[in-house]
Amino acid sequence: MRYLRHGLQQAFRQRPGQRLTLGIALLLSSTAYGINSNSITWLTLDFEPYYIFNGTNVGQGRDEQVIHLLQQQLPEYDFKYMAIPSSHLLTELRHKQSTYCLLSLYKTEQRRSELHFSEQYSTIGLSPALVMHKEVAQKLGLTPGAPQSLTHLLSEHHLRLGLPMGRSYGNELDTVIGQVPKSQLTTRPGRDVLASLTYMLAKKRLDILLSYPSEFQYLSEKMGLDKQLSIFPVSEAPALSYGYIACSNNELGKQQLKVLAPALQQVVASDTYKDVMLQWLPTALRPHLQQAL
């Protein structure tokens, strides 16, 4: 506010025409950045089971439940939501003229330079896994549930890999993916992108898909494909994957993260948070995450 008051004082020292132009500019600037605002706008996306917009489980998505827990810690703040296609997510976050936050985003070096991130993780889960049609896995002689090398499968067997556009899977897997010939990659933008890729996998239009275990569990059961598909841990990936709150790289985004930080600490320490992190994970895999919660 000190800078806003100074700007207004300067505006009224100008000639009338200059004063009006500068005053309007300052007003628009203060509106865009939300100065003195007690609201936080969260970007959401139609990406089950993190956000569930329809059906019997509506509102029970992992990430949206964590946002609701944060709201309980910050009743004086008005939480707003803006649904957006996953392909536009980072573009909107990077706009410095507006201020948005996203609950769970993987940190990369490039993203660190473009966005403000929380120090405390906001979500924790098992790392991405390989999903394949059972018939394809059997032809390759893969042992069900045994860790597999993504590098080996792609280079030796020339499999076709499906990926949501713009998604990061961590430094290790991103490096492997970056070396895959474009002829072996299929990417999809838009809504319900993972469901679309899972359908292509079931129809053998793809050979392999990277998916977090909770995604695989939810979608394969919802689509009736759980008996057709197999999931394998990835040997190049660490055991756990962490997401962080990311906010727009402007002063308001920085201030909003300061507000969210103590609330996030309280949420992550709660038993309710642990239940939310485990909710959509396959039952057999829950003990692997419980140890870290």
**Which residues have a Cβ under 8 Å from the Cβ of 47 and sit 6 or more positions away?**
86, 193, 194
- On whether both 134 and 119 belong to a single domain, the answer is no
Cβ atoms within 10 Å, residue 135: 11
- On whether both 163 and 195 belong to a single domain, the answer is yes
- On whether both 111 and 138 belong to a single domain, the answer is no
- On whether both 78 and 106 belong to a single domain, the answer is yes
- On whether both 229 and 133 belong to a single domain, the answer is yes
- On whether both 9 and 89 belong to a single domain, the answer is no
Task: Reduce the DSSP state of residue 231 to 3 states and report it.
Answer: strand
How far apart are alpha carbons 293 and 282 in whole angstroms? 16
- On whether both 11 and 69 belong to a single domain, the answer is no
Reference 150, options 238, 234, 231, 241; nearest CA is 234
- On whether both 142 and 228 belong to a single domain, the answer is yes
Asked, for residue 34, whether it belongs to a domain, the answer is no
**Domains in the chain, number:** 3
- On whether both 226 and 245 belong to a single domain, the answer is no
Task: Reduce the DSSP state of residue 123 to 3 states and report it.
Answer: strand
pLDDT of residue 23: 37
How far apart are alpha carbons 189 and 292 in whole angstroms? 33
- On whether both 118 and 248 belong to a single domain, the answer is yes
Please state whether beta strands 129-133 and 229-233 pair in parallel, antiparallel, or not at all (unpaired): antiparallel
pLDDT of residue 35: 43
- Residue ranges making up the domain that contains 115: 39-125+241-290
158 burial via Cβ count (<10 Å: 0-12, 13-18, 19+): exposed
- Mean pLDDT of successive 10-residue segments in the chain (293 residues)? 37 40 36 61 93 94 98 97 88 92 94 96 95 95 92 93 87 92 87 86 94 92 92 93 97 97 98 97 90 92
**Which residues have a Cβ under 8 Å from the Cβ of 223 and sit 6 or more positions away?**
195, 198, 199, 202
Domain C-terminal end among 233, 259, 277? 233
Tell me if the pTM is above 0.75.
yes
Buried b (16+ CB within 10 A) or exposed e, 95-114: eeebbbbbbbbbbeeebeee
Asked, for residue 33, whether it belongs to a domain, the answer is no
- On whether both 109 and 160 belong to a single domain, the answer is no
- On whether both 205 and 81 belong to a single domain, the answer is no
Domain C-terminal end among 210, 233, 256? 233
Asked, for residue 32, whether it belongs to a domain, the answer is no
